Amino acid sequence: MGFQFDDLPHWEFTILERSVGVYNVTAIRDGGVRGESAGSDPDALMEDLKVWARKTERDLAARQGS
């Protein structure tokens, strides 16, 4: 089960500790767009992927002419 944010309703974010102090954060959008990042600060990784997801939403909307 992942995290969802009100401003990114089409996205689900997950955090997984792969080894001690090493985290993978994944963002998956309805329809299969996916982003992933790894590092030692899960909060910073989450924020980075949220910024990326917002940009991706803008790009998708521009392509669809919305």
0.85 exceeded by the pTM?
A: yes
Alpha carbon distance 50, 45 (integer Å): 9
Express each pLDDT in 21-42 by its tens digit: 999 999 999 988 999 999 999 9
Q: How far apart are CA 12 and CA 17, in angstroms?
A: 17
Considering its fold, how many domains does the chain have in total? 1
Indicate the pairing of strand 22-29 with strand 34-39.
antiparallel
pLDDT > 70 fraction of the chain, expressed in percent and rounded = 97
| Mean pLDDT for the chain overall | 94
CB atoms within 10 A of CB 4: 11
Q: Are 19 and 28 in contact (CB under 8 A)?
A: no
Q: Which residues pair with 15 in a beta bridge?
A: 25
Predicted confidence band of residue 1 (pLDDT cuts 50, 70, 90):
low
Q: What is the pLDDT of residue 11?
A: 96
